[in-house]
Structure 1
Amino acid sequence: MNIVLWVVAGVLALAFLASGVMKVARGKEDLKKAGMAWVDLFSPGMVKAIGAVEILGAVGLILPAALDIAPVLVPLAALGLALVMIGAAVTHARMKDYKGMVPSIVLLLLCAFVAWGRFGPYAF
């Protein structure tokens, strides 16, 4: 199970890192053209802040355990990213973009799985 948790955390880290870098590096118009219509609901600074949180969460899923420095940060990062995905799902629901909710819910469940495993029976 430890290997499964590492693989899921790695996949989540890659997904959130890519998503976060895109939000930080691109402007609102570019993100909207890429299919992220939700950016109209937020200021440019807020979109960049969400991206920064995703990047920090991605780093927090891997580095603390890999470097054996405060590995308790791994489940905390997973929990934080789960909260971000709850916000994403709510945002999509408010926009009546139910297809857009699916990736948010899948990522939420994967984050919850990592948080459960690393807080619980498979802690470092």
Structure 2
Amino acid sequence: MTDQKTNKGLIIGLWIAQVLVALMLLWGGYAKLATPLEELSQMMPWAAENPSLLTFTGIVDLLGGLGLLLPAILRIKPQLTVYAAYGTAALMVAAAIFHISRGEYESVGMNVVILLIALFIAWGRSKKAPILPKS
């Protein structure tokens, strides 16, 4: 009985983590792709220096957000959710390195938090509470 409650709690926690990280990535991707470059340059000075990097990271953010949710919700190739979680973790490592190289240390904390949540999702969806594909 306790194991069943723990498993249910873990599943709920994983869904909450997936939705939160996905929303953060989707919001970030949308903001990078839909906000005019002049506005973004005020918030992110590197955007004006390298607009192609901005577009690339916006697309990666959108794909990561979709990958964390859609395969799991639709139960079509749900293993892709695990890959999206690992991809998000790698993205956060790259983002942290990028921010450190620019001296933007205040941004690294959020990268580390998202990295840890993404690793939790990858672990949970691959080992403890995998989602089975539709039969």
TM over 0.5: yes
Per-residue deviation, 1:26: 2.3
Q: 2:47 aligns with which of 35, 39, 50?
A: 39
Aligned residues: CA RMSD: 1.3
Correspondence for 2:37: 28
Per-residue deviation, 1:120: 1.3
Number of matched pairs? 122
Asked if structure 1 preserves the Cα contact closer than 8 Å seen for 2:47 and 2:53, the reply is no
Gaps of 5+ in 1: none
**Structure 1 runs of 4+ off > 3 angstroms?**
none
DSSP-derived class of the 1:70 partner: coil
Asked if structure 2 preserves the Cα contact closer than 8 Å seen for 1:38 and 1:91, the reply is no
Q: 2:111 aligns with which of 79, 88, 104?
A: 104
Tell me the percent identity.
36
Asked if structure 2 preserves the Cα contact closer than 8 Å seen for 1:38 and 1:92, the reply is no
DSSP-derived class of the 1:120 partner: helix
Distance 1:93 1:7, change over 3 A: same
Rg larger for: 2
Match runs of 1:19-98 below 5 Å: 19-33=28-42, 35-40=43-48, 43-98=50-105
Match runs of 1:109-120 below 5 Å: 109-120=116-127
TM-score (structure 1 length as normaliser): 0.91
Asked if structure 1 preserves the Cα contact closer than 8 Å seen for 2:26 and 2:62, the reply is yes
Distance 1:38 1:110, change over 3 A: farther
